Amino acid sequence: MSGRGKKNAMKLKKAPTSRSAKAGLQFPVGRVARLLKKGNYAARIGSGAAVYLAALLEYLCAEVLELAGNAAKDNRKQRIAPRHIQLAVRNDEELNVLLGGVIISEGGVLPNIQAALLPKKTSKPSAHDDQSSTDVQSQAF
């Protein structure tokens, strides 16, 4: 009973590793698990559910941020504004379906002009019809 076994156990003990680090994620798996349990979504929550949900949320955030960063770069801006998030989401087919019922505050709308409202394309008048043709700019009512 010298207690030598305890000293060896202390030496072999390694630092705790988070579930996020084990899964290779940036999003907090422990926090997602806690919120799933306290949210009363189900009576029992599996251990892999929090990892899966954290990975899903991380992927969606990365996708939106990448597209919004591209939209900000197209507008020659350094920061991502709500307008850039709106443009990114509405120009992507799958994200538009996913976030179809979502209103992004200060996002604005997509630039869109109906084809019927655009001015008609007219051909240039020929040389011999120069005097007889009516002025294209004026409209007779």
pLDDT digit string (tens) for 41-90? 999 999 999 999 999 999 999 999 999 999 999 999 999 999 999 999 99
- 43 to each of 30, 39, 46, 54, how far by Cα in Å? 18, 10, 10, 20
State the residue for tokens 């919004």: 68
pTM beyond cutoff 0.85: no
